[in-house]
Amino acid sequence: MQKLLIIGYVWPEPNSSAAGTRMMTLIKLFLERGWQLRFASPAQRGGHEVDLAALGVASDEIALNNISFDHYVADYSPDMVLFDRFMMEEQFGWRVEQCCPSALRVLDTEDLHFLRDARHRALKRGRSVEAGDYCSDMAKREVAAIFRSDLTLMISSVECELLTSQFSVPPSLLLYSPFMLPPPRPLEALPAFEQRRHFISIGNFRHAPNWDAVLQLKQKVWPLIRRQLPEAELHIYGAYPPKKATELHQPKQGFLVKGWAEDAQQVVSDSRVLLAPLRFGAGQKGKLVEAMQCGTPSVTTSVGAEAMASLEGWPGAVCDDWQDFADAAVALYRGEGWQQSRLRGRALLSDRYDAQQLGDALMAKVTELAASIEQHRQSNFIGLMLRHHHHKSTQYMAQWIEAKNRQS
């Protein structure tokens, strides 16, 4: 039986974030294909993490800058190690290479952190992203981790293109691997238009693009909608709402901050239109895919829809002007194009997110790499060079920190 070790940046919380859902999809895929799994993370448990033991997956807490991980990974001797985001490759990549040199080292970016960061910084400066914005320290770290890995899973085709064109990353190091979704429930089994009420917005409050979107709703979008629909309500859900978010709760204005959703799919299915006024971000947006699954039309921005569908084929509307955004939301809420939007969502799910097809492609790539791993690594000289210099410096720093911790 082949063995996979996943090193998680956080413990998977599928009800809190798209990243948690993505991680659980990967875990279930490898389980279904007969692999043995262990999940390890240096993060604190948040209280909403999934019960991995119930799935037959062992989970372990690991320490940063500690030789105990070397013994741990050597004892398990995985065939493949999956790093959840580039920070985990930075911390543990050199240890995996030293202790298990034949194991495949695969990076799952979730999305490109440096792209989201560049867009955020440009937004704060009131301008569009320029080529120079990508040359940040975060970009250097993340792209270096991609070069050092045997394979990187990319959720966005736009980000694949950015890496190959801007940073000359060889396509052989990347695999386009978006959300892998099972067939959705038939639209007839979901609440009909007449059974639904309210607008909805959903997203983890700890994720900066989501918090910014809530502020845009409060300050810009919702007043425009309420002028046309004075009795409408907007229900805002999301994990870990801070006090500054709950203070926005104003029932008289129909602006209701609900916080944690026990069943996200249920609250989205009960809503008439989902609103996602995202001004920056990266990757693909789990909330928008979830809306498609629930047969709920959505209104978002070009950033929100990026790498998910054409503007014309969007299951709802894509608008970057707030008045246009509000008008489109009101029209859908009143039923204009509502059913057609649901049908477009079903077409997108079938065309782009088929779990069987995407899962087969990932497993085929893993099998291909395992059979030619030395040749694959030798052809990636930049990766060899970066591994040599990074791993040496990281190793000595980690050993220094470990020695210092023993003395304290």
111-160, pLDDT tens digit by residue?
999 999 999 999 999 999 998 999 999 999 999 999 999 999 999 999 99
Is residue 265 within 8 A of residue 290, CB to CB? The reply is: yes
Q: Which domains occur in the chain, in start order?
A: 3-180+355-407 (3.40.50.2000), 187-352 (3.40.50.2000)
Q: Collapsing DSSP states into helix, strand and coil, what is residue 97?
A: helix
Parts of the chain with a pLDDT under 50 = none
- Do the beta carbons of residue 95 and residue 140 sit within 8 Å? no
Burial, 260: exposed, middle or buried (Cβ in 10 Å; 0-12, 13-18, 19+)?
middle
Sequence-ordered strand ranges (E) for 186-323: 199-202, 234-237, 255-259, 273-276, 298-300, 316-318
Residue 16: what pLDDT? 86
110: which 2 tokens?
Answer: 């979730």
- In the chain the first and final C-alpha atoms are separated, in Å, by 42
Nearest Cα neighbor of 273 from 207, 228, 206 is 228
Tokens describing residue 254: 């129909």
H or E element at residue 288: helix 286-293
**H helices within 125-173, ranges in order?**
137-148, 157-166
What integer pLDDT is reported at residue 314 of this predicted model? 97
pLDDT at 316: 98
For 276-305, what is each residue's pLDDT tens digit?
999 999 999 999 999 999 999 999 999 999
Other CB atoms within 10 A of residue 43 CB: 14
